[in-house]
Structure 1
Amino acid sequence: MKNRKIMFMSPYHVETVEEEYVPKTLGDHEVLIKLIYSLISPGTEMAMLSGKEDWAKLPLCPGYASVSQIVESGKGVQDFQAGDVIFHYGNHCEYQVVEARDVFLRVPDALDLKWVPFTRMATVAFTSIRVSDIELGDKVSVTGLGLVGNLAAQLARLQGATVIGMDLSKERLRTVRQCGVDYTLDSGEGSVKEQIMTLTNGKGVSCHIEATGVSKVGVESLQYIGSQGEIIFLGSPRGEYNTDITDVLNYCHLYNRGCITFKGAHEWRYPTEPNPFVKHSLVRNSGIVFELMQQQKLHIEPLISHVIKPEQASEAYEGLRTNKDQYNGVLFDWS
């Protein structure tokens, strides 16, 4: 059979490769899957495509989140069978053999399959809520309203907060309003601090979620976090940034600078599988995301900007690099 996959050949050079695929004999705990939809993760995959990430040596087949159908199961696989539609962390490769323990969840029958890969982005965002002290009635701000930042803003609102979303992109601000976020601010217009102080009656936000991964943005956000507040670093910081670290640390240390708590919210701080000694896990969070989608409480449809064929991969990644306003949630349709 023919197998298609997307390859990062060299920095900013993307190809869709077709090759002959001969299925191997499955191990006892392996499954053969066929992709239905896979989602590009703009932050992670564009970093990989730059060729600057030591952990992602080119050439490689990228991938982040997928919904697939199981073609065949190994003899020892008990929880899944051929025909099951599953959500998993998969590459942009039409046919793949994966370990059954790496298959996350069976997809509920009534769930729109285009929404399913966004579960991964939502569980990434979920970490910022899990580590936070957000309570009903709090004011929360979010910088960076791409897929992860948008979903973090939605989840903070579901936690009971009044949410202020901030971005330089008017299109992303429009999208987050479609998703129900309370207030939006254009980061490039006027003083963000003054606007937030107006919205919070001069107190500042009790929690700020930094989802851009731009160090400068994180540092500048400290000035509008209220006393005893917290900053959650959701986006992975990339790139060099020089500043006075003593000034930054005093926001954490001194009462008159806010006495702010710094928290990291990397997705992998929680175990993959449920654990009797840890309340949260990626599987549990994914199941909750399914429920929120089914209940129409987590809005996914406004995030989908493109549903395209794998043969258009080069166009998609170029769009994500040069036209971020129009390219955001890009799904590959493998049908």
Structure 2
Amino acid sequence: MISTLISSAEGAIICEVRFSLNLPGGQAMTGKRVVVPNRFNVELEEFTIDESSIGPDEVILKTRYTLISSGTELAIYTALDKGVYQEDSWCRYPFRPGYIAVGEVILKGERVRKFEEGELVFCYKNHASIAKLNTEKELCLKVPEGLDPKSALFARMATIAMTSLRKSDVELGDTVAVIGLGLVGNMAAQLFTLAGAEVIGVDLFRRRLEIAEECGIPHVVNASTSDVKEEIMGITSGKGVDLTVEAIGKPDLVPLTLSITKKNGEVILLGTPREDWQTNATEILLEIHRSGISLKGALEWVYPILHSERAGHSIERNTIIAMKLIAEGRLKVEPLLSHVVRPERMKSAYEGLLNRKDEFTGVVIDWTED
């Protein structure tokens, strides 16, 4: 049994967390996980997994690292997603956030052949020190040997971003503008570059633009100091781009996306719109109608999670591709990792991502000492 005291930033003891591995006789493993009980609050809670309950296709993981998905998690932390107050919502308070994890197999069921004990597994699990995973029903992949497990986490964000590439009609040599260069937007810009497009990245924050350049994005526009439309028209010799990807989820940016996209081009909404926005929809629809622009949504869940021969694209296949690109160094993730923090610093991580966007980009939670 391992015991650790969790304290607040001020030094007050919050709780004692116990964690045990491979206990004889099917005893419970006790760990901790992050919970958002209500708006702007984050806590650590204790929970258990009973060893004797492990199924033949299941494994139990000792989590190494998890990655904060800032768009989704901050929307819940701030209650921007109104589902937090709805009884039947998937994100109703109290909510246990996170869906990107790498952990070590410490116990496996009798039918598990994909993994051996001691191997590292990438999966869609929340911010918790231990997890139980069904290897036949849930997405789970072995982390390639030699790949830093912290880098492997970013395959999840690349998979989200890849949906915009899959849904687009972009061809070699086309121009693409990506509005918003957070984790998902940066990954989208890199993927379109790898696909042979000439990419223009747009953001308000200087550091994000610098990171985009470090990741090989050929053009960047600072929306806080420049006229975005004017800059993009200059880069494209007045033609506009073939495709604009809105990677933030701000509905009021739709008019901008239409204004920089050429006739018969595309606009893809990659970011999830959550904010209320009142406008004259007729003007927007008229612009789409007159310009022949296609407006598309790009939510990753339009694809099946697990791959099959009939599936074509799937989240699993996209993840395998993303992991390979990261392992080969073609999809750059190191510049995106800004902070590695302990679980008890989760609130400060959320606050940094929310209020210090020029400093906080990718934040990994380190569970290795738990």
- Please give the range of the TM-score, normalised by the shorter of the 2 chains: over 0.9
In the other structure, the counterpart of 1:26 is 54
- C-alpha distance in 2 between matches for 1:278 and 1:23: 35
1:309 paired with 2:342, answer: yes
Query: What SS does the aligned partner of 2:45 have?
Result: strand
Q: 2:196 aligns with which of 160, 181, 185?
A: 160
- C-alpha distance in 1 between matches for 2:355 and 2:321: 34
Query: What SS does the aligned partner of 2:282 have?
Result: helix
Spell out the pairing of 1:1-335 with structure 2 (5 A cutoff): 1=20, 2-18=30-46, 22-51=50-79, 52-54=81-83, 55=89, 56-100=91-135, 101-254=137-290, 258-335=291-368
Alignment CA distance shift 1:21-1:29 (3 Å): closer
Q: Deviations over 1:244-279 (max 9, x none)?
A: 11111123222xxx2100111101111111222232
Q: Shift of the alpha carbon at 1:240?
A: 0.9
The residue type equivalent to 1:86 in the other structure is V
Alignment CA distance shift 1:291-1:21 (3 Å): closer
- C-alpha distance in 1 between matches for 2:144 and 2:309: 25
Query: What SS does the aligned partner of 2:149 have?
Result: coil
Q: Shift of the alpha carbon at 1:63?
A: 0.8
Conserved 8 A contact 1:67-1:88: yes
Q: Shift of the alpha carbon at 1:292?
A: 0.9
Work out the number of aligned pairs and report it.
332
Query: What SS does the aligned partner of 2:160 have?
Result: helix
Q: Shift of the alpha carbon at 1:89?
A: 0.6
> Based on CA coordinates, which of the two structures has the bigger radius of gyration?
2
- C-alpha distance in 1 between matches for 2:175 and 2:213: 17
The residue type equivalent to 2:250 in the other structure is V
CA RMSD of aligned residues (A): 1.4
The residue type equivalent to 1:278 in the other structure is A
Q: Deviations over 1:125-153 (max 9, x none)?
A: 00000111111111100001100000000
Query: What SS does the aligned partner of 1:114 have?
Result: helix
Q: Shift of the alpha carbon at 1:322?
A: 1.6
Query: What SS does the aligned partner of 2:111 have?
Result: coil
- C-alpha distance in 2 between matches for 1:228 and 1:22: 57
Conserved 8 A contact 1:61-1:93: no
Q: Deviations over 1:209-265 (max 9, x none)?
A: 1001000112222011011100011000011111111111123222xxx21001111
* TM-score, normalization by structure 1: 0.95
Q: Shift of the alpha carbon at 1:22?
A: 4.9
Query: What SS does the aligned partner of 1:314 have?
Result: helix
